[in-house]
Amino acid sequence: MPEARLLARAAYIALAATDSYLAGRTGVRARRARFVTKPLLMPALATVTTVETRTAPAPMPALTSRTLAAQAFSWGGDVALLRKSQGAFLTGVGSFLAAHVAYLSAFGSARDPQARLNDSGPKLAAASWVATAPVMAFAAGRREPALGVPVAAYSAALAAMFGASTVLDPELPQAARRRIALGTSLFLLSDTLLGAQEFLRRTPSPRLEVAVMATYTAGQWFIADGVSRAT
Protein backbone atom coordinates (compact mmCIF):
# COMPACT_ATOMS: atom_id res chain seq x y z
CA MET A 1 0.00 0.00 0.00
CA PRO A 2 2.77 2.58 0.76
CA GLU A 3 4.29 1.90 -2.67
CA ALA A 4 0.94 2.39 -4.40
CA ARG A 5 0.38 5.60 -2.46
CA LEU A 6 3.78 7.02 -3.41
CA LEU A 7 3.38 6.03 -7.05
CA ALA A 8 -0.07 7.62 -7.31
CA ARG A 9 1.13 10.83 -5.68
CA ALA A 10 4.21 11.02 -7.92
CA ALA A 11 2.09 10.47 -11.04
CA TYR A 12 -0.27 13.31 -10.18
CA ILE A 13 2.51 15.73 -9.25
CA ALA A 14 4.39 14.97 -12.48
CA LEU A 15 1.25 15.38 -14.59
CA ALA A 16 0.29 18.63 -12.83
CA ALA A 17 3.75 20.14 -13.31
CA THR A 18 3.93 19.06 -16.96
CA ASP A 19 0.46 20.28 -17.85
CA SER A 20 0.99 23.62 -16.11
CA TYR A 21 4.17 24.10 -18.11
CA LEU A 22 2.48 23.12 -21.37
CA ALA A 23 -0.38 25.53 -20.67
CA GLY A 24 2.02 28.42 -21.16
CA ARG A 25 3.37 27.14 -24.47
CA THR A 26 1.77 28.24 -27.72
CA GLY A 27 3.12 25.67 -30.16
CA VAL A 28 1.12 22.93 -31.84
CA ARG A 29 3.16 20.20 -30.13
CA ALA A 30 2.41 21.58 -26.68
CA ARG A 31 -1.29 21.79 -27.47
CA ARG A 32 -1.33 18.20 -28.70
CA ALA A 33 0.59 17.04 -25.65
CA ARG A 34 -2.06 18.57 -23.39
CA PHE A 35 -4.64 16.24 -24.94
CA VAL A 36 -2.64 13.55 -23.13
CA THR A 37 -1.60 15.22 -19.88
CA LYS A 38 -4.76 17.12 -18.95
CA PRO A 39 -7.25 14.22 -19.23
CA LEU A 40 -4.97 12.13 -16.99
CA LEU A 41 -4.93 14.63 -14.11
CA MET A 42 -8.17 13.70 -12.36
CA PRO A 43 -7.86 9.92 -12.85
CA ALA A 44 -4.43 10.14 -11.20
CA LEU A 45 -5.82 12.23 -8.34
CA ALA A 46 -8.81 9.89 -7.93
CA THR A 47 -6.34 7.04 -7.62
CA VAL A 48 -4.57 8.93 -4.84
CA THR A 49 -7.87 9.52 -3.04
CA THR A 50 -9.00 5.92 -3.44
CA VAL A 51 -5.71 4.39 -2.29
CA GLU A 52 -5.37 6.67 0.74
CA THR A 53 -8.94 6.28 1.99
CA ARG A 54 -9.39 2.57 1.29
CA THR A 55 -7.92 1.49 4.62
CA ALA A 56 -8.79 4.61 6.59
CA PRO A 57 -9.07 4.02 10.35
CA ALA A 58 -12.07 6.38 10.53
CA PRO A 59 -13.78 6.12 7.13
CA MET A 60 -16.23 8.83 6.09
CA PRO A 61 -18.07 7.32 3.10
CA ALA A 62 -20.01 10.44 2.10
CA LEU A 63 -16.97 12.73 2.22
CA THR A 64 -14.89 10.29 0.18
CA SER A 65 -17.48 9.26 -2.41
CA ARG A 66 -18.64 12.82 -3.07
CA THR A 67 -15.05 14.00 -3.40
CA LEU A 68 -14.49 11.28 -5.99
CA ALA A 69 -17.66 12.44 -7.78
CA ALA A 70 -16.31 16.00 -7.80
CA GLN A 71 -13.06 14.76 -9.30
CA ALA A 72 -15.02 12.89 -12.00
CA PHE A 73 -16.97 16.02 -12.93
CA SER A 74 -13.71 18.00 -12.89
CA TRP A 75 -12.32 15.51 -15.39
CA GLY A 76 -15.26 16.30 -17.68
CA GLY A 77 -14.49 20.00 -17.37
CA ASP A 78 -10.80 19.47 -18.05
CA VAL A 79 -11.53 17.55 -21.24
CA ALA A 80 -14.18 19.99 -22.47
CA LEU A 81 -11.96 23.03 -21.98
CA LEU A 82 -9.27 21.56 -24.20
CA ARG A 83 -11.48 22.78 -27.04
CA LYS A 84 -11.88 26.49 -27.74
CA SER A 85 -15.47 26.70 -28.99
CA GLN A 86 -18.33 28.35 -27.07
CA GLY A 87 -20.10 25.01 -26.80
CA ALA A 88 -17.03 23.41 -25.26
CA PHE A 89 -16.71 26.31 -22.83
CA LEU A 90 -20.33 25.96 -21.71
CA THR A 91 -19.88 22.21 -21.34
CA GLY A 92 -16.80 22.80 -19.22
CA VAL A 93 -18.60 25.37 -17.07
CA GLY A 94 -21.49 22.94 -16.57
CA SER A 95 -19.19 20.10 -15.63
CA PHE A 96 -17.24 22.18 -13.13
CA LEU A 97 -20.50 23.54 -11.74
CA ALA A 98 -21.47 19.93 -11.01
CA ALA A 99 -18.03 19.38 -9.45
CA HIS A 100 -18.53 22.33 -7.10
CA VAL A 101 -21.97 21.05 -6.11
CA ALA A 102 -20.42 17.64 -5.37
CA TYR A 103 -17.70 19.26 -3.27
CA LEU A 104 -20.34 21.36 -1.51
CA SER A 105 -22.24 18.18 -0.69
CA ALA A 106 -19.03 16.45 0.47
CA PHE A 107 -18.11 19.27 2.83
CA GLY A 108 -21.71 19.48 4.01
CA SER A 109 -21.47 15.85 5.14
CA ALA A 110 -18.62 16.87 7.45
CA ARG A 111 -20.01 20.26 8.46
CA ASP A 112 -19.59 21.79 11.89
CA PRO A 113 -23.04 21.42 13.49
CA GLN A 114 -22.50 24.76 15.23
CA ALA A 115 -21.58 26.64 12.04
CA ARG A 116 -23.58 29.71 11.01
CA LEU A 117 -23.83 31.70 7.79
CA ASN A 118 -22.36 34.74 9.54
CA ASP A 119 -19.16 32.91 10.45
CA SER A 120 -16.01 34.47 8.99
CA GLY A 121 -15.53 31.82 6.28
CA PRO A 122 -19.01 32.05 4.71
CA LYS A 123 -18.87 35.85 5.00
CA LEU A 124 -15.55 35.88 3.14
CA ALA A 125 -17.02 33.61 0.46
CA ALA A 126 -20.00 35.94 0.02
CA ALA A 127 -17.70 38.95 -0.19
CA SER A 128 -15.57 37.28 -2.86
CA TRP A 129 -18.70 36.54 -4.90
CA VAL A 130 -19.93 40.13 -4.62
CA ALA A 131 -16.50 41.45 -5.59
CA THR A 132 -15.95 39.28 -8.66
CA ALA A 133 -19.13 37.60 -9.94
CA PRO A 134 -20.98 40.69 -11.25
CA VAL A 135 -17.87 41.85 -13.10
CA MET A 136 -17.20 38.45 -14.65
CA ALA A 137 -20.86 37.86 -15.55
CA PHE A 138 -21.15 41.31 -17.13
CA ALA A 139 -17.92 40.87 -19.09
CA ALA A 140 -18.95 37.39 -20.22
CA GLY A 141 -22.38 38.67 -21.25
CA ARG A 142 -20.85 41.48 -23.28
CA ARG A 143 -18.71 39.02 -25.17
CA GLU A 144 -21.54 36.53 -25.66
CA PRO A 145 -25.03 37.03 -24.16
CA ALA A 146 -25.49 33.30 -23.58
CA LEU A 147 -22.57 33.24 -21.13
CA GLY A 148 -23.72 35.82 -18.57
CA VAL A 149 -26.15 33.72 -16.52
CA PRO A 150 -24.06 30.49 -16.54
CA VAL A 151 -20.99 32.41 -15.36
CA ALA A 152 -22.96 34.05 -12.53
CA ALA A 153 -24.41 30.68 -11.44
CA TYR A 154 -20.99 29.07 -11.63
CA SER A 155 -19.48 31.82 -9.50
CA ALA A 156 -22.19 31.35 -6.87
CA ALA A 157 -21.54 27.61 -6.65
CA LEU A 158 -17.78 28.19 -6.44
CA ALA A 159 -18.18 30.70 -3.61
CA ALA A 160 -20.57 28.39 -1.75
CA MET A 161 -18.11 25.52 -2.09
CA PHE A 162 -15.33 27.66 -0.68
CA GLY A 163 -17.55 28.84 2.19
CA ALA A 164 -18.56 25.28 3.07
CA SER A 165 -14.91 24.23 3.27
CA THR A 166 -14.28 26.78 6.03
CA VAL A 167 -16.88 25.40 8.45
CA LEU A 168 -15.91 21.74 8.74
CA ASP A 169 -16.44 19.77 11.92
CA PRO A 170 -13.76 20.80 14.46
CA GLU A 171 -13.48 17.15 15.49
CA LEU A 172 -11.72 16.50 12.19
CA PRO A 173 -7.92 16.83 12.31
CA GLN A 174 -6.86 20.44 12.06
CA ALA A 175 -4.35 19.61 9.32
CA ALA A 176 -7.15 18.11 7.22
CA ARG A 177 -9.41 21.14 7.64
CA ARG A 178 -6.61 23.55 6.79
CA ARG A 179 -5.65 21.66 3.64
CA ILE A 180 -9.21 21.47 2.39
CA ALA A 181 -9.72 25.20 2.95
CA LEU A 182 -6.40 25.95 1.26
CA GLY A 183 -7.42 23.78 -1.68
CA THR A 184 -10.77 25.50 -2.19
CA SER A 185 -9.15 28.94 -1.90
CA LEU A 186 -6.65 27.99 -4.62
CA PHE A 187 -9.54 26.67 -6.72
CA LEU A 188 -11.30 30.02 -6.25
CA LEU A 189 -8.13 31.88 -7.24
CA SER A 190 -7.65 29.68 -10.30
CA ASP A 191 -11.15 30.29 -11.60
CA THR A 192 -10.84 34.03 -10.93
CA LEU A 193 -7.65 34.09 -13.01
CA LEU A 194 -9.37 32.04 -15.72
CA GLY A 195 -12.27 34.49 -15.81
CA ALA A 196 -9.86 37.39 -16.15
CA GLN A 197 -8.08 35.58 -18.97
CA GLU A 198 -11.27 34.73 -20.82
CA PHE A 199 -13.36 37.86 -20.33
CA LEU A 200 -11.19 40.79 -19.24
CA ARG A 201 -8.09 40.47 -21.43
CA ARG A 202 -8.04 41.20 -25.12
CA THR A 203 -5.17 38.84 -25.80
CA PRO A 204 -4.41 35.67 -23.81
CA SER A 205 -1.38 35.70 -21.51
CA PRO A 206 0.73 32.51 -21.53
CA ARG A 207 1.94 33.27 -18.00
CA LEU A 208 -1.63 33.62 -16.82
CA GLU A 209 -2.45 30.25 -18.36
CA VAL A 210 0.36 28.70 -16.34
CA ALA A 211 -0.94 30.37 -13.18
CA VAL A 212 -4.47 29.11 -13.86
CA MET A 213 -3.35 25.49 -14.17
CA ALA A 214 -0.81 25.66 -11.35
CA THR A 215 -3.36 26.99 -8.85
CA TYR A 216 -6.06 24.61 -10.14
CA THR A 217 -3.96 21.46 -9.86
CA ALA A 218 -2.60 22.56 -6.47
CA GLY A 219 -6.13 23.30 -5.26
CA GLN A 220 -7.40 19.89 -6.29
CA TRP A 221 -4.38 18.29 -4.64
CA PHE A 222 -4.87 20.00 -1.29
CA ILE A 223 -8.59 19.16 -1.24
CA ALA A 224 -7.83 15.50 -1.91
CA ASP A 225 -5.02 15.47 0.64
CA GLY A 226 -7.26 17.09 3.23
CA VAL A 227 -10.01 14.54 2.63
CA SER A 228 -7.48 11.73 3.00
CA ARG A 229 -6.27 13.19 6.31
CA ALA A 230 -9.85 13.65 7.50
CA THR A 231 -10.42 9.92 7.20
Contact at 8 Å (CB) between 166 and 187?
no
- Residues 74-125 pLDDT 10s: 999 999 999 988 889 889 999 999 999 999 999 999 999 888 877 888 899 9
- Residues 26-52 pLDDT 10s: 889 999 999 999 999 999 999 999 988
Q: Which one has a higher pLDDT value, 15 or 26?
A: 15
pLDDT for 202 beyond 90: no
Interacting residues of 191 by C-beta distance below 8 A, sequence separation 6+: 96, 154, 155, 158, 216
Note the pTM of the prediction, 2 decimals.
Answer: 0.92
3-state helix, strand, coil in the chain (%, to 5): 80, 0, 15
